[in-house]
Amino acid sequence: MENTVEILDQDDVLSRIHQYELERNEERVFINVREPVGGSAKGSFIAVPSLISKECSNTDYVGLGDSVEEALKDCLKRIKGQPLHQIIPQG
């Protein structure tokens, strides 16, 4: 992961997300647990319930590789310096 951190912008925080799904009374909610792994991380683990997951649909920003680390590095290179609202438009 150390080489990946070098790709980050100065104030970026890179986190590993552990995702869980809770089913209750035929309803579902995701719980995403954030684990800071690089950058200027503040705090430690944070768990956040989430109903909606929105992903980037523009393949220009999608990282590819033969491993998790390669795909992550490729994605970080593609999005470096780009505003997040450009990568995943709201709406």
DSSP labels, 41-83 = --SS-EEEEES-------GGG----SSHHHHHHHHHHHHTT--
Please tell me whether residues 29 and 3 are part of one structural domain: yes
Please tell me whether residues 61 and 30 are part of one structural domain: no
Q: What is the mean pLDDT of residues 15-21?
A: 88
Residue 21: which domain range?
1-53
Number of domains in the chain: 2
Please tell me whether residues 91 and 75 are part of one structural domain: yes
Please tell me whether residues 71 and 29 are part of one structural domain: no
Say what the pLDDT of residue 9 is. Answer: 85
Please tell me whether residues 39 and 7 are part of one structural domain: yes
pTM: 0.60
Q: How far apart are CA 28 and CA 42, in angstroms?
A: 29
Please tell me whether residues 13 and 45 are part of one structural domain: yes
Q: pLDDT (tens digit, 9 = 90+) per residue, 36-57?
A: 887 776 667 888 877 665 666 7
Q: What is the mean pLDDT of residues 64-78?
A: 85
Please tell me whether residues 47 and 62 are part of one structural domain: no
